[in-house]
Chains A and B, each alone.
Chain A
Amino acid sequence: MDTLEQFREETRQWLLAHAPKSMCTPVRVVDDLCWGGRRAQYPADVKRWLDVMAERGWTAPTWPKQYGGGGLDKAEAKILSQEMAKLGVRAPLVGFGLTMIGPLLLQEGSEDLKRVHLPPIGRGEIRWCQGYSEPGAGSDLAGLQARAVIDGDDFVVTGQKIWTSYADKADWMFLLVRTDPNVRKQAGITFLLMDMTSPGVSVRPILLISGSSPFCETFLDNVRVPRSQVVGQVNGGWAMAKALLGHERTMIADIFKDRAPGNPLLELARRYLPASAARIADPIIRDRITQLDMDAACLDLTLKRSQDSMKAGHKPGPETSMFKYYGTETNMRRRELMLAIAGPQGLGWEGAGFDESELALTRDWLRSRGNSIEGGTSEIQLNIIAKRVLGLPD
Chain B
Amino acid sequence: MELILNEEQQLLQDTAREFVNKNSSLRRVRTLRDSGDPLGYSRTLWGEMAKLGWLGIIFPEEYGGAGLGYTELMVILEELGRGLLPEPFISNILLAGNAIAIGGSPAQRQAVLPSLISGDLLLALAHQESRSRYNPHDVETQAQKTSSGWRLSGEKVHVLDGFGADRVLVSARTSGATADRAGMTLFLLDVHAPGLSIERQWRIDSRNAAIVRLDDVAAAGDDVLGKVDHGSDILDTVIDRATIGLCAEMLGGMNAALSMTLDYLKTRVQFGVPIGSFQALKHRAAKMYIETELARSAVMAAHKTIDEDSQRVPALASIAKARCSDAFVLISNEAVQMHGGIGMTDEHDIGFFIKRARVAEMTFGTAAYHRNRFAELQGY
- A392-B297 contact, Cβ under 8 Å, with A280-B380, A308-B3, A386-B283: no
Q: Give Cα A269 to B378, complex, Å.
A: 14
Q: How many A-B residue pairs have CB under 8 A?
A: 114
Pair B2/A302 contact, Cβ less than 8 Å = no
Interface string of B312-350 (1 = CB under 8 A from A): 000000110011000000000000000000000000000
Q: Which residues of A have CB within 8 Å of B16?
A: none
Within 8 Å of chain B (Cβ to Cβ): is A298? yes
- Number of B interface residues in the complex (CB < 8 A): 39
Selected interface stretch from A113-121, A283-291, A334-342: A283-291
- CB neighbours (8 Å) of B319 from chain A are 294, 297-298
Is A222 located at the chain interface by the 8 A CB criterion? no
- Does A354 touch B at the CB level, under 8 Å? no
Q: Are B277 and A394 in contact (CB under 8 A)?
A: yes
Give the shortest distance, in Å, between A86 (CB) and chain B (any CB). 20
Return chain A residues, CB-CB under 8 Å to B285. 386, 390, 392
Q: Give chain B residues whose Cβ lies under 8 Å from the Cβ of A279.
A: 375, 380
**Chain A positions within 8 Å of B297 at CB level:** 298, 301-302, 304-305
- Nearest CB of chain A from residue B274's CB, rounded to whole Å: 5
User: How far does the alpha carbon of A295 sit from the alpha carbon of B282 in the complex, in Å?
Assistant: 22
A306 to B: closest C-beta gap in Å: 9
Q: Per-position contact with A for B277-289: 1 when CB-CB < 8 Å, else 0?
A: 1010111011101
Task: Report which of B296, B322, B378 forms a contact with A305, defined as CB distance below 8 A.
Answer: B296
**Is the contact region of chain A dominated by helix, strand, or loop, or is it mixed?**
helix
Given the known inter-chain contacts A278-B380, A391-B262, please indicate yes or no for A294 contacting B286, CB distance below 8 A: no
Interface of B is mostly: helix
Report how many residues on chain A are interfacial, defined by Cβ distance under 8 Å: 42
Q: Is the CB of A393 within 8 A of B322?
A: no
| B266 CB–A CB distance under 8 Å | yes
CB interface residues, B 245-277, toward A, < 8 Å: 262, 265-266, 273-274, 276-277
**Is residue B52 contacting chain A, with contact meaning CB distance below 8 A?**
no
Chain A min CB distance to B247 (Å): 12
* Docked complex Cα distance between A338 and B140 (Å): 42
Kindly state the separation between the CA atoms of A300 and B295 in the bound complex, as whole angstroms: 12
Q: Is B298 an interface residue (CB 8 A)?
A: yes
Q: Which residue of A lies closest to B318 (CB)?
A: A294
Residue of B nearest to A307 (CB): B3
Which residue on chain A has the smallest CB distance to residue B261? Answer: A390
* A244 CB-CB contact with B under 8 Å: no
- Beta-carbon nearest neighbor of B288 in chain A: A390
Interchain CB contact under 8 A, A382 and B287: yes
| Stretch with Cβ within 8 A of A (4 or more), from B79-87, B217-225, B366-374 | B366-374
B4 within 8 A of A: yes
> Closest CB of chain A to B280's CB: distance in Å?
11
- The 8 A CB mask of B346-380 against A (1 = contact, 0 = none) is 00000000000000000000001001101100111
Partner of B262, one of A276, A294, A379, A390: A390
User: In the complex, which residues of chain A have a beta carbon less than 8 angstroms from the beta carbon of B294?
Assistant: 295, 298-299, 301-302, 326
CB-defined interface of A57-73 with B at 8 Å, one 1/0 digit per residue? 00000000000000000
Of the candidates A269, A312, A326, the one whose C-beta lies within 8 Å of that of B290 is A326
Q: Which residues of A contact B (CB under 8 A)?
A: 263, 266, 269, 276, 278-280, 286-287, 289-291, 293-295, 297-299, 301-302, 304-305, 308-309, 312, 319, 322, 325-326, 379, 381-383, 385-387, 389-394
**19 additional contacts, CB 8 Å, given A298-B319, A308-B4?**
A279-B380, A287-B371, A290-B378, A291-B322, A291-B371, A293-B378, A298-B294, A298-B298, A301-B294, A304-B3, A308-B2, A326-B290, A379-B283, A382-B282, A386-B283, A390-B289, A392-B265, A392-B266, A392-B282
A-B contact pairs, 23 of them (CB 8 A): A279-B380, A286-B375, A286-B380, A290-B374, A293-B378, A297-B319, A298-B294, A298-B319, A299-B294, A302-B294, A305-B297, A305-B300, A309-B4, A312-B4, A382-B287, A383-B282, A383-B283, A385-B289, A385-B290, A386-B282, A386-B285, A391-B266, A393-B276
